[in-house]
C-alpha cells in the first residue's frame, strides 16, 4: 500500500520517527483483532519516543485508513468522509490510539465514539519504558431499552494477547441495530425523525408545543421515533443544544435508524450548519416543516405559487454569504476575472424567481379583486371561516352547504380557499368561505406569501372563529388566532365564536366554557346542531346589511339548501419558468 498523509500535529517530528509513522500505512491487522500485539507494541514505542499520542483509523478488513498524530494528552480527528451505509449503521472504522499516562478513556474519546459512529475506540496504555501494557476498548450500545451512557467499556485486556473477537462483536452490534430500526412501525415511504425542543419555558408549555410538533410531523408523513425536550436557562447560540444532549440524540438516531432531526425552534443558517456538521444528520426546523406540509397540500396554481415563494424566501439567507472577491465581472479588457461563483448564481436566480412569483401573485390579486367586485355587485354578504388548523372549518363548510371540500384529520388539510353560496331559512343568500388554518408562530414569510389568500378576509362582513373545544389547549389556540387577526388588522370585524366538536366534551364543562366565552356550541359533523349558529349568522348579517334583499323565488325553509358551486377561478395565469 502506498504511504498516505499523516494527519494532525506533525510539526517538530524527527525525520526518522516521521518515516516510521508514515510506514504505519503499510501495516494490516487480522480482521478478528482490534489491534495485533506487534502493531500495539510498535505504536507504543513510536508514541513514547515522540512524546505524542498516535492513532490509527482501521477499516474492518484491518487496513490502515488514516494515521493521526496528536499532542501528549489529546488527538485531533479531521473530517471524515460520509459513510456509504448512511446514518443508520456504524461507520465501519475503529480508532486505536495511545495513552502516554496510562489514563482511562476520556470523555472526548467517548464523544468521538458517538459522533463518528465508530465500530469501537481503543486506547493502548504506554508504560514509562515505552512498552504497550493494556488495551481498553469501548463500543456503542445499540439497544434503546438499556439505561446508561450509551456505550460499554470492556474490561482491560493485555496488549500481548487481547482476547476479543472483534469481527463477532461488530456483527452482533449491527444485527441489534437492525432490530432496533425495524421495531419502530412506519409505512414504507415514511421518514422517521427525532423531534427536539430546546426551551427555557416551563415543562408543561414545552410539552404542549412538542405535542403540536408531533402532529405537524404526522401531517407531513413523518413518524416521530423519539421526542427529546431539553430545558435550558441559557441556550447555546452555536448549536442551540448542549453537546452532551446532542450526543444522546446522535446515539438515539443510530439506534432508531433515523437520519432526520426536527427542531421545534426556528434555527438560523449557522446553527443548522453547526448541528449538521456535528451529527451528520439532516436538520430542519419548525418553519421548514410547515413549508413542507404546505408544499404537499397546495393544489391550486395560486397555492403552489405562494408556497414556492415562501420556500425561496426561507432558502435565500441559507445559501450563504456573498463572496465579494469572486463577484460577477463584465467582459472587456481590465474587467475579466474569475466570474460568478455558484453561490452567487444561485442567489441571483433565487431572487429573480421570487420577483417573477411576486408578479404572478399580483395577477392573482387582480383576479381575486374582480371576483370580489362581482360578489359586491350581486349584493351578497360574505362570511369567512377562520380558526386554528384542524379545528373543523372545512367540515363545517361541507355540512352547511352540502359540499365535498377535502377534509382530513391532519394539520393544514386545507390550503386553498373554497367559497360556496349558503341559503338561509329566510331565503336569503350569503357567500361563505373556508380559509387556511392558523397556527402558533405562523412563519412570517408564509404570512406574506399567503397575502393573496388572506385578502379574502379583508372583504368578509363576518368572521366565524371555529375552535376545537375538545383540545385541552383550546384557549391558547384561540389566543394565537386573535394575535394573527390583529397582525392582519382584522380584529375589528364582527366575530362569531363557535365551539366545534362539542360532542367530545363533558356537558357540564361545555356549558361552563360556552357561558364564559359567549360562544355557540356545535358539532360540525351533525347538521342537527347547527340551528343556533345559522340563526346567529342571520342575525349578525342582518345587522350589518340593513338592505339585505331576499334571494327571491322560494319561501322560508327550516334548513339550509344544497351546494350551489364554487366561485369562478378567474383568468388563466401565464406559465411559470422552470424552478431552480
CA dist., res. 10 & res. 393, Å (int): 67
Give the list of residues 6+ apart from residue 179 with CB closer than 8 angstroms, or none.
Answer: none
Structural contact between residues 38 and 28, judged by C-beta atoms closer than 8 angstroms: no
Other CB atoms within a 10 A radius of the CB of residue 304 amount to: 17
**Helix (H, G, I), strand (E, B), or coil: what is residue 271?**
helix
Looking up cell 408543561 gives 204
CA dist., res. 264 & res. 229, Å (int): 10
- The yes or no reply on domain 191-292 and CATH 3.40.710.10 is no
CA dist., res. 267 & res. 284, Å (int): 8
DSSP string computed for 179-230: HHHHTS---TT-EEEEEEEEESS-HHHHHHHHHHHHHHHHHTTEEEEEEEEE
Strands (E), 292-428: 382-387, 418-423
CA distances 498 to 42, 408, 494, 521, 525, Å, are 79, 20, 13, 6, 14
Residue 547, strand partner residues: none
Strands (E), 116-188: 120-126, 132-140, 151-153, 157-158
CA distances 344 to 171, 232, 325, 341, 527, Å, are 47, 38, 11, 5, 57
Q: Per-residue pLDDT tens for 247-261?
A: 889 988 888 888 899
In this prediction, what percent of the chain has a pLDDT beyond 70?
A: 80
What is the domain partition of the chain in residue ranges? Answer: 6-182, 191-292, 374-544
Residue 57 has a pLDDT of: 95
pLDDT tens per residue, the chain (580 residues)?
456 789 988 888 899 999 999 999 999 999 899 999 999 999 999 999 999 999 999 999 999 999 999 999 889 888 887 765 555 578 899 999 999 998 999 999 999 999 999 999 999 999 999 999 999 999 998 876 556 678 999 999 999 888 889 999 999 988 888 776 666 655 555 688 999 998 877 778 888 888 889 988 988 888 888 899 888 777 778 888 888 888 889 988 888 888 899 999 888 888 998 898 888 889 999 988 888 888 887 777 777 888 888 888 888 887 764 443 333 333 444 434 455 567 778 888 888 998 998 888 788 777 766 665 665 555 678 899 999 988 888 899 889 888 877 666 667 766 667 788 888 877 788 888 888 788 887 777 777 766 656 766 787 889 999 999 999 889 989 999 999 888 888 888 899 999 999 999 999 999 999 999 999 999 999 888 999 999 999 888 887 776 555 544 433 333 343 333 334 333 333 344 444 3
191-292 shares its CATH topology with 374-544: yes
Residue 362 has a pLDDT of: 81
**Helix (H, G, I), strand (E, B), or coil: what is residue 177?**
helix
Residue 572 has a pLDDT of: 37
Residues 200, 205, 211, 217: is their CA dihedral positive or negative? negative
Q: Per-residue pLDDT tens for 329-348?
A: 334 444 344 555 677 788 88
**Helix (H, G, I), strand (E, B), or coil: what is residue 415?**
coil
CA dist., res. 475 & res. 478, Å (int): 5
**79-96: burial string, b at 16+ Cβ within 10 Å, e else:** eeeebeeebbbbbbbbbb
Cell numbers placing 6: 499523516
Residue 4 has a pLDDT of: 72
Structural contact between residues 429 and 541, judged by C-beta atoms closer than 8 angstroms: no
Give the list of residues 6+ apart from residue 576 with CB closer than 8 angstroms, or none.
Answer: 305, 356, 357, 360
Angle made by CA atoms 273, 279, 281, in degrees to the nearest 5: 80
Residues 459, 462, 464, 465: is their CA dihedral positive or negative? positive
Structural contact between residues 455 and 436, judged by C-beta atoms closer than 8 angstroms: no
Strands (E), 20-131: 54-59, 64-69, 93-99, 120-126
Decide the pairing of beta strands 132-140 and 157-158.
Answer: antiparallel
As a whole number, the mean pLDDT across the chain is 81
CA dist., res. 50 & res. 47, Å (int): 5
Residue 336 has a pLDDT of: 44
428: nearest Cα among 577, 509, 544, 566 = 544
Residue 560 has a pLDDT of: 41
- Helices (H) and strands (E) counted in the chain, each on its own, are 16, 18
Q: How far is CA 255 from the centre of its chain?
A: 20
Structural contact between residues 240 and 271, judged by C-beta atoms closer than 8 angstroms: yes
- The yes or no reply on domain 374-544 and CATH 1.10.3720.10 is no
DSSP string computed for 556-572: --SS------BPP--SP
Radius of gyration of the chain (CA): 32
Amino acid at each position: 500500500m502506498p504511504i498516505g498523509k499523516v494527519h494532525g500535529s506533525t510539526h517538530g517530528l524527527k525525520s526518522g520517527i516521521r518515516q516510521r509513522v508514515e510506514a504505519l500505512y503499510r501495516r494490516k491487522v487480522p480482521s478478528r483483532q482490534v489491534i495485533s500485539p506487534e502493531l500495539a507494541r510498535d505504536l507504543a514505542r513510536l508514541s513514547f519516543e515522540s512524546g505524542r499520542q498516535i492513532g490509527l483509523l482501521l477499516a474492518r478488513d484491518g487496513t490502515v485508513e488514516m494515521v493521526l498524530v496528536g499532542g501528549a494528552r489529546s488527538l485531533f480527528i479531521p473530517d471524515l468522509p460520509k459513510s456509504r451505509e448512511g446514518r443508520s449503521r456504524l461507520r465501519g472504522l475503529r480508532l486505536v490510539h495511545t495513552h502516554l499516562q496510562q489514563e482511562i478513556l476520556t470523555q472526548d474519546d467517548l464523544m468521538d465514539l458517538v459522533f463518528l459512529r465508530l465500530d469501537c475506540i481503543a486506547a493502548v496504555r504506554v508504560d514509562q519504558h515505552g512498552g504497550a501494557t493494556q488495551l481498553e476498548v469501548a463500543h456503542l450500545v445499540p439497544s434503546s431499552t438499556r439505561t446508561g451512557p450509551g456505550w460499554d467499556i470492556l474490561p482491560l485486556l493485555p496488549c500481548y494477547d487481547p482476547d476479543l473477537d472483534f469481527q463477532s462483536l461488530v456483527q452482533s452490534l449491527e444485527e441489534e441495530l437492525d432490530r432496533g430500526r425495524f421495531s419502530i412501525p412506519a409505512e414504507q415511504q415514511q421518514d422517521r425523525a427525532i423531534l427536539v425542543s430546546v426551551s427555557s419555558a416551563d415543562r408543561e408549555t414545552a410539552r404542549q408545543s412538542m405535542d403540536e410538533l408531533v402532529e405537524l410531523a404526522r401531517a407531513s408523513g413523518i413518524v416521530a421515533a423519539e421526542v427529546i425536550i431539553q430545558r435550558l436557562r441559557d441556550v447555546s447560540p452555536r448549536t442551540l443544544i448542549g453537546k452532551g444532549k446532542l450526543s444522546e440524540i446522535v446515539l438515539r438516531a443510530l439506534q432508531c435508524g433515523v437520519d432526520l432531526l426536527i427542531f421545534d425552534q426556528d434555527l438560523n443558517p449557522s446553527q443548522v450548519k453547526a448541528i449538521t456538521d456535528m451529527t451528520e444528520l439532516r436538520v430542519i426546523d419548525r418553519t421548514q416543516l410547515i413549508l413542507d406540509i404546505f408544499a404537499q397540500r397546495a393544489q391550486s396554481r395560486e397555492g403552489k405559487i405562494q408556497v414556492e415563494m415562501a420556500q425561496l424566501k426561507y432558502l435565500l439567507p441559507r445559501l450563504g454569504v456573498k463572496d465579494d472577491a469572486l463577484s460577477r465581472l463584465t467582459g472587456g479588457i481590465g474587467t475579466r476575472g474569475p466570474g460568478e461563483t455558484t453561490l452567487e448564481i444561485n442567489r441571483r436566480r433565487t431572487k429573480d424567481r421570487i420577483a417573477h412569483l411576486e408578479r404572478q401573485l399580483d395577477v392573482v390579486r387582480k383576479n381575486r379583486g374582480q371576483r370580489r367586485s362581482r360578489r359586491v355587485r350581486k349584493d351578497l354578504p360574505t362570511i369567512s371561516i377562520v380558526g386554528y388548523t384542524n379545528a373543523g372549518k372545512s367540515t363545517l363548510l361541507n355540512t352547511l352547504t352540502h359540499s365535498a371540500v377535502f377534509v382530513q384529520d391532519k394539520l393544514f388539510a386545507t390550503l386553498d380557499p373554497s367559497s360556496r353560496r349558503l341559503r338561509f331559512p329566510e331565503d336569503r343568500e350569503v357567500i361563505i368561505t373556508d380559509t387556511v388554518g392558523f397556527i402558533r408562530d405562523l412563519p412570517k414569510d408564509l404570512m406574506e406569501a399567503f397575502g393573496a389568500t388572506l385578502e379574502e378576509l379583508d372583504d368578509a362582513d363576518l368572521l366565524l372563529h371555529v375552535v376545537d373545544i375538545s383540545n385541552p389547549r383550546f384557549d391558547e389556540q384561540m389566543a394565537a388566532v386573535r394575535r394573527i387577526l390583529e397582525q392582519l388588522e382584522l380584529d375589528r370585524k364582527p366575530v362569531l365564536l363557535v365551539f366545534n366538536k362539542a360532542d367530545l366534551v363533558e356537558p357540564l364543562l361545555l356549558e361552563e366554557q360556552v357561558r364564559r366565552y359567549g360562544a355557540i356550541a356545535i358539532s360540525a359533523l351533525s347538521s342537527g346542531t347547527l340551528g343556533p349558529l345559522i340563526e346567529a349568522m342571520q342575525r349578525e348579517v342582518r345587522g350589518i346589511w340593513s338592505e339585505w334583499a331576499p334571494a327571491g323565488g322560494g319561501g322560508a325553509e327550516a334548513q339550509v339548501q344544497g351546494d350551489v358551486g364554487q366561485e369562478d377561478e378567474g383568468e388563466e395565469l401565464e406559465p411559470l419558468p422552470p424552478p431552480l
